Amino acid sequence: MAAIDPSQFKALHKYFPALTLTQLATAYMYSTGIPVGTIAQLRGVSEDTVKDSLKAACNRMQLTSISAMGTAIQLKLNLELLIAIDSIHLN
């Protein structure tokens, strides 16, 4: 059994609707700096499967590098967090 199940990332899916949950989980973990080998262990899959998932996510986000994809994910989530915090302070 995998330590990380892609379904645990459902709450983030609304921010990345072009990605499957598996792609999102993999891309998010990668964007936080977790190495491919560790992601593979956490997901219970091979490193090649992780790499394929990262490439597919990158393509779906219309980006040309996995590094740019990781940055885009972190920026989007940080912006959404700031917007949420701002809306709390406005109420």
- Which residues does 12 contact at the CB level (< 8 Å), separation at least 6? 24, 28, 77
For residue 38, the model assigns a pLDDT of 97
pLDDT at 89 over 90: no
The structural domains of the chain, ordered by start, are 19-90 (1.10.10.10)
Q: How would you class 81 by CB atoms within 10 Å of its CB: exposed for 0-12, middle for 13-18, buried for 19 or more?
A: exposed
Q: How is residue 54 written in tokens? A: 């990262």
In tens, the pLDDT along 21-72 reads 999 999 999 999 999 999 999 999 999 999 999 999 999 999 999 999 999 9
**Statement: residue 86 has pLDDT above 90:** no
Q: Determine the pLDDT at residue 90.
A: 66
The model's pLDDT over 61-71, given as tens digits with 9 standing for 90+, comes to 999 999 999 99
Which residues, in sequence order, are CB contacts of 13 under 8 Å at separation 6+? 19, 21, 24
